[in-house]
Amino acid sequence: MKFNEKQATANLENLERIFTVPEDPSSTLGLIDNEISQNLVGFLTENIVACQQEIEDIETDFSDPVIPQDPKFVSAQTRFLLDKLVSKSVHTSSPSFVGHMTSALPTFMLPLSRIMIALNQNMVKVETSKAFTPMERQTIGMIHHLIYGREDEFYTRWMHDHHNCIGSFCSGGTIANITALWAARNHFLAPDGDFAGIGQDGLVAALQHYGYKGIAVLASERAHYSLAKSADILGIGRANIVTVETDRKQRVKTAELARRAKELKARGIMPFSVIGIAGTSETGSVDPLNELAEIAGDIGAMFHVDAAWGGPTLFSDKYRDILSGIEHADSVTIDAHKQLYVPMGAGMVVFKEPNLASSIEHHAEYVVRKGSKDIGSFSLEGSRSGMAMLVHSSLNIIGHKGYGILIDQGIEKARRFAELIKAQPDFALVSEPELNILTYRLVPEDLQQTLLDASEHEANQINEILNKLTKHIQKIQRARGKSFVSRTQLKPIEQHRYPVVVFRVVLANPLSTDEVLADILEEQRAIFAESSSQAIIAELDNIEPLTDVG
Amino acid sequence: MKFNEKQATANLENLERIFTVPEDPSSTLGLIDNEISQNLVGFLTENIVACQQEIEDIETDFSDPVIPQDPKFVSAQTRFLLDKLVSKSVHTSSPSFVGHMTSALPTFMLPLSRIMIALNQNMVKVETSKAFTPMERQTIGMIHHLIYGREDEFYTRWMHDHHNCIGSFCSGGTIANITALWAARNHFLAPDGDFAGIGQDGLVAALQHYGYKGIAVLASERAHYSLAKSADILGIGRANIVTVETDRKQRVKTAELARRAKELKARGIMPFSVIGIAGTSETGSVDPLNELAEIAGDIGAMFHVDAAWGGPTLFSDKYRDILSGIEHADSVTIDAHKQLYVPMGAGMVVFKEPNLASSIEHHAEYVVRKGSKDIGSFSLEGSRSGMAMLVHSSLNIIGHKGYGILIDQGIEKARRFAELIKAQPDFALVSEPELNILTYRLVPEDLQQTLLDASEHEANQINEILNKLTKHIQKIQRARGKSFVSRTQLKPIEQHRYPVVVFRVVLANPLSTDEVLADILEEQRAIFAESSSQAIIAELDNIEPLTDVG
């Protein structure tokens, strides 16, 4: 504490000290630092409390917009963070928090991250990253090889070629998807004769030059919302993302997609990109990638696969076939902060062919000069951290086999959990896990048969009440802080037209055991038995049969 | 080492261990971790060697694209990183590395970063960030207040309003600039009657609806290259970034900009955004922001200020007036990983009015639901880390006054260095430091007068040789690894038409002393005396006077 005093406040005249004098191990921050390295799980369990506080109440601790005039003790700020921020954050690595895509981290990630942060490299140019540049290129190459498995010569020729790149590292899947669509758009509307390309002359001139009325993207209606964002940013417009409906397994209907493509072309609107999803956010479904690749080829569009979630399934000898066809994609998105188990902020897009990235190449005079090895010429972001070091390390430390085991465990755990749900009289599985994500809901036993026998009109009313119930149980469970499943709304399934709200479970955390999952069902059942839930289900009594007024 | 063995390889059947068993303090990684926390400066100095290796040689250590099948010891990977990556990285925090915008980090950043990474929050939604959401909103609010200093009621009303946002946190200045231009473009081509807005219907429909031939952006020719990238991504086209020339002080000529705006409008091309730069990357110059704000107002364009570098100048009571007019900007970019001294990967854009961000609002069903407090609705990125915690902490720990002192020191150090350069007979200052960046070159004493007296034709030839010399000295100095200045090429200055290559020095590192700077000149002078430099300067003998062939 004394040390921190000296460090921060006492020395307005000698501020350099905060850049040179290390944190005292006996200071508040030093002690926490040590505790985290010695007992990460314990630190998180003890310091993140099940916070019942509403977000509006938490806001009161973060309400002053004025930057304090005077320096503050490091220890005082640390104390504030512990009390007001850490304790009220989310225990994303908890084994019973299975509602999001953020898992536990391998413990070696913490000291490795410290090295990465201490080095503070900037990947934009070799000048501030040196060996980090080839390291990042190799990391991209390793993911490229996992997906495409090209021959040795390909990587020898292209992996470090500074006029090209076979992928781009970025902060996450959204940037990766935008980058992929940006490259596809620019490749489709490339320079041609007098026309300098869309990047130079813009979309209007591009359409004029090529004689198109518009351009469009074809994807499943289950595509990630970053796709709509991409279409907005790229000037295409969300309306020109043509979303195609899915089958019972939440996979895009390919015949319908091909039909829509034809229809668009007949109207002079060119579908320049077909998107396949390898692991939808909501149900983990995988589109028929081989068929999509064929359609894309037929209509002359680029084929992009969003494998932000499902990509690492390729590590599994048992299950990699689920992603069959991904090797035909022109570009693939993978998030490293999901199933590669690195900290938040690591995504990648890889390009099948090295020339695709050239359509998004940018240069400047003082940085990313033409002909330099600067990797910043091919990325949407400018300055970037050396996060690739963490991916490089985990690929080496966990290895192909290790990741394969983690993937197998997740998929098999999801299957067991699905069986468990089906065995319950008062729960109903809504989507079978294709990978390690499933959805379900609580449907009281006596209602299950009623729902099957009901007319569409009645079923819709029942579902409306069940949706309310699911939302209610999910919120209560989240607020109590013992466990967490997320919820989402699925489009109509089977014969019922009504959208269904479901519990969503993501099983990537190796620490989530079958027992933890069974407990989650028990807790939901207990919440259902409480009066607030019963009040919702009592609304069933008011359901009115359809009276034909014809 | 033994421990790491157990952890990684021996346990393919029990992989969960890597998520629970902490790194042994006596393992290689544990020891490094401890060394970095106890002696960061020492660690960096000892472990980053002055690496003479060419990048092509370094690549050989990163040439295998195949992910290893079997797990690797943590200690083996750590050893590899130390030998092949850390030792060949760039000592970005070295006091004598004054060529880039990456400075030393306050030592408290390391343990704080560890907390941030251990918590592994995902800012995209409250579900995975809880208290981090109001904390990030406050951090944005603090920067907003620094720039705009709005009344208390403004922040009470808007800072935590979940239907709006007064800024967006992101990975860096490029994303911030793209976000600002995206918002401006969508605001300019907003929904109107039957037209659903550019975000929904795309650029072509938008121009049709409003009856414009095109849209354009006006900026200085010194604008950051991310601006060209933005124009490409947003579908506007780089050709529609109208760059205006600068005066002797590298500041945009406002009258010329106003003239170009009028000319564009007369052709049916609407300038929807005027950009001002507060600290150009090359010379740290600041555009006349008040005049630009007025022009933007007159022509009905949004006014964006790229203060990625210069923004924190606002902390200085002495120098904040250099940025006068920034408070009129509709949006401002600031990089926290530059002069706020947080690790790489932290940028921000703030919006003067809370409604601007609504033009880029996005929602989805399972995440960032409408009406939620999810901050992901307003960001270009999706999943994001809790980096804002580091900005929040440094704003509190260093405080307004602390930052003010750091800014003053940098600017004054740059002025002293400029004087030192001017006092040398064999150096020439090329751009005076307006903030803490300056450029200069070595011009042998006997050449200084020659250059002044030379005809344009002769001067151009001399400058061509001097440019070669500057490049040569910069490369040699960089390779020797003792110190580093960057180089860039400036457009013609004064009467000479020839572009001038210069050394560029950025003085944000509080540890760079006047002595360090004097040594840099000495080293350059010594390199000039070497035969390889003398061979270049000898080319002066071949200069031919202009023979009129008229």
Q: What is the pLDDT of residues A512-538, one digit of tens each?
A: 999 999 999 999 999 999 999 999 999
Beta-carbon separation of B174 and A382 below 8 A: yes
| Number of Cβ within a 10 Å radius of residue A526 | 13
Is B88 at the interface with chain A, CB within 8 A? yes
Query: Which CA distances in Å does B238 have to A126, A141, A190, B207, B233?
Result: 25, 31, 14, 17, 9
Beta-carbon separation of B382 and A173 below 8 A: yes
What pLDDT sits at residue B494? Answer: 60
A59 pLDDT higher than 80: yes
Helix A456-480 × helix A514-529 angle, to 10°: 110
d(CA B331, CA B176): 10
Q: Which of B7, B159, B381 has the most A C-beta neighbours within 10 Å, making it the best mutation to test the interface with A?
A: B381
Taking residues A193-222, report their average pLDDT: 96
Taking residues A349-355, report their average pLDDT: 96
pLDDT digits (tens, 9 = 90+) for B521-541: 999 999 999 999 999 999 998
**Which positions in chain B touch A117 (Cβ < 8 Å)?**
105, 109-110, 113, 343
Q: Please indicate whether the domains covering B117-397 and B402-542 agree at the CATH topology level.
A: no
Q: If pLDDT is split at 50, 70 and 90, which confidence band does A365 have?
A: low
Cβ-based neighbours of A446, under 8 Å, separated by 6 or more: none
d(CA A348, CA A346): 7
Q: Which of A5, A48, A114, A368 has the most B C-beta neighbours within 10 Å, making it the best mutation to test the interface with B?
A: A114
What pLDDT sits at residue A162? Answer: 85
Local structure of residue B547 (DSSP, 8 states): P
Residue B54's SS3 state is coil
pLDDT digits (tens, 9 = 90+) for B431-489: 999 999 999 999 999 999 998 888 888 988 999 999 999 999 999 999 898 999 999 99
Taking residues A473-495, report their average pLDDT: 87
Is A14 at the interface with chain B, CB within 8 A? no
What pLDDT sits at residue B16? Answer: 86
What pLDDT sits at residue B149? Answer: 98
**Which positions in chain A touch B66 (Cβ < 8 Å)?**
142, 145
Dihedral of CA atoms A139, A142, A143, A145 in degrees, nearest 10, equals 150
Is A505 at the interface with chain B, CB within 8 A? no
Contact between residue B402 and residue A68 where contact means Cβ atoms under 8 Å apart:
no
What pLDDT sits at residue A364? Answer: 66
Taking residues B21-27, report their average pLDDT: 89
Give me the interface pTM, i.e. the ipTM: 0.95
What pLDDT sits at residue A545? Answer: 67
pLDDT digits (tens, 9 = 90+) for A130-183: 999 999 999 999 999 999 999 999 999 999 998 889 999 999 999 999 999 999
Beta-carbon separation of A92 and B119 below 8 A: yes
Burial of B52 (0-12, 13-18, 19+ CB in 10 A): exposed
d(CA A215, CA A272): 6
Q: Which of A78, A113, A115 has the most B C-beta neighbours within 10 Å, making it the best mutation to test the interface with B?
A: A115
Closest residue to B118, CB basis, from A43, A335, A383 = A43
Beta-carbon separation of B484 and A127 below 8 A: yes
Lookup result for tokens 């320079």: A191
Lookup result for tokens 């985290």: A36
Q: Which of A28, A57, A80, A108 has the most B C-beta neighbours within 10 Å, making it the best mutation to test the interface with B?
A: A108
**Which positions in chain A touch B144 (Cβ < 8 Å)?**
65
A5 pLDDT higher than 60: no
Is B362 at the interface with chain A, CB within 8 A? yes
Closest residue to B510, CB basis, from A15, A126, A198 = A15
Both tokens assigned to B33: 């971790």
What pLDDT sits at residue A546? Answer: 59
Taking Cα atoms as reference points, which of A176, A205, A234 lies closest to residue B199? A234
Beta-carbon separation of A362 and B232 below 8 A: yes
B29 pLDDT higher than 80: yes
What pLDDT sits at residue A495? Answer: 55
**Which positions in chain A touch B38 (Cβ < 8 Å)?**
22, 25
Local structure of residue B85 (DSSP, 8 states): I
Beta-carbon separation of A381 and B92 below 8 A: no
Is A51 at the interface with chain B, CB within 8 A? yes
Q: If pLDDT is split at 50, 70 and 90, which confidence band does B51 have?
A: confident
**Which positions in chain A touch B381 (Cβ < 8 Å)?**
171-172, 174-175
Strand order of the β-sheet with A331-335 is A167-170, A347-351, A331-335, A302-306, A269-277, A214-220, A241-244
For A199, phi and psi rounded to 5 degrees? -60, -40
With b for 16 or more beta-carbon neighbours within 10 A and e for fewer, the B288-311 pattern comes to bbebbbbbbeebebbbbbbbbbbb
Beta-carbon separation of B85 and A131 below 8 A: yes
Single-letter amino acid code for the residue at A225: Y
No. of helices (H) and no. of strands (E), chain A: 19, 11
A-proximal residues of B, 122-161, CB under 8 Å:
122, 126-135, 137-138, 141-142, 144-146, 155-156, 159-160
Local structure of residue B21 (DSSP, 8 states): S
Least confidently predicted of A2-16, A75-89, A304-318, B50-64:
A2-16
Strand partners, B97: B484
Beta-carbon separation of B488 and A365 below 8 A: yes
User: What percent of chain B clears pLDDT 70, i.e. is strictly above it?
Assistant: 95
Considering the domain B402-542, what is its CATH architecture? Alpha-Beta Complex (3.90)
What pLDDT sits at residue A261? Answer: 98
CA distance B425 to chain A (A): 27
Q: If pLDDT is split at 50, 70 and 90, which confidence band does A421 have?
A: very high
Closest residue to A67, CB basis, from B43, B121, B142 = B142
Q: If pLDDT is split at 50, 70 and 90, which confidence band does B383 have?
A: very high
Q: What is the DSSP string of A277-318?
A: EBS-TTT--B--HHHHHHHHHHHT-EEEEE-TTTGGGGG-TT
**Which positions in chain A touch B93 (Cβ < 8 Å)?**
19, 120
Beta-carbon separation of B36 and A234 below 8 A: no
Taking residues B57-76, report their average pLDDT: 95
Burial of B514 (0-12, 13-18, 19+ CB in 10 A): exposed
Taking residues B237-264, report their average pLDDT: 95
Q: For chain B, what is the mean pLDDT? A: 92
Strand ranges, E, within A355-499? 427-431, 437-442, 486-490
Cα radius of gyration (chain B):
26
**Which positions in chain B touch A29 (Cβ < 8 Å)?**
108, 111-112
- CA atoms within a 13 Å half-sphere pointing along the CA-CB vector of B229: 27
Single-letter amino acid code for the residue at A377: S
**Which positions in chain B touch A142 (Cβ < 8 Å)?**
65-67
Contact between residue B449 and residue B299 where contact means Cβ atoms under 8 Å apart:
no
Single-letter amino acid code for the residue at A346: A
Is B259 at the interface with chain A, CB within 8 A? no
Beta-carbon separation of B126 and A55 below 8 A: yes
B-proximal residues of A, 15-34, CB under 8 Å:
15-16, 18-23, 25, 29-30, 32-33
Q: Where are the domains of chain B?
A: 3-89, 117-397, 402-542
d(CA A232, CA A227): 9
Beta-carbon separation of B107 and A367 below 8 A: no
| Number of Cβ within a 10 Å radius of residue A52 | 9
pLDDT digits (tens, 9 = 90+) for B188-241: 999 999 999 999 999 999 999 999 999 999 999 988 889 999 999 999 999 999
Both tokens assigned to B384: 């994001």
Least confidently predicted of A385-389, A419-423, B23-27:
B23-27
Least confidently predicted of B8-12, B111-115, B434-438:
B8-12
What pLDDT sits at residue A550? Answer: 43
**Which positions in chain A touch B88 (Cβ < 8 Å)?**
130-131
Q: What is the pTM of this model?
A: 0.95
Query: Which CA distances in Å does A465 have to A425, A426, A473, A529, A534?
Result: 19, 15, 12, 16, 11
A436: left (phi over 0), alpha (psi -120 to 50) or beta: alpha
Burial of A506 (0-12, 13-18, 19+ CB in 10 A): buried
Local structure of residue A358 (DSSP, 8 states): G
**Which positions in chain A touch B120 (Cβ < 8 Å)?**
92-93, 102, 105, 343-344
Q: Which of B159, B396, B478 has the most A C-beta neighbours within 10 Å, making it the best mutation to test the interface with A?
A: B396
pLDDT digits (tens, 9 = 90+) for A42-56: 999 999 987 778 899
Multiple choice CATH, A117-397, 3.40.640.10, 3.40.50.2300, 3.30.499.10, 3.30.70.580: 3.40.640.10
pLDDT digits (tens, 9 = 90+) for A322-341: 999 999 999 999 999 999 99
Q: What is the DSSP string of A493-543?
A: -TT--S-EEEEEEE---TT--HHHHHHHHHHHHHHHHSHHHHHHHGGGGG-
CA distance A48 to chain B (A): 9
Beta-carbon separation of B214 and A233 below 8 A: no
Beta-carbon separation of A478 and B385 below 8 A: no
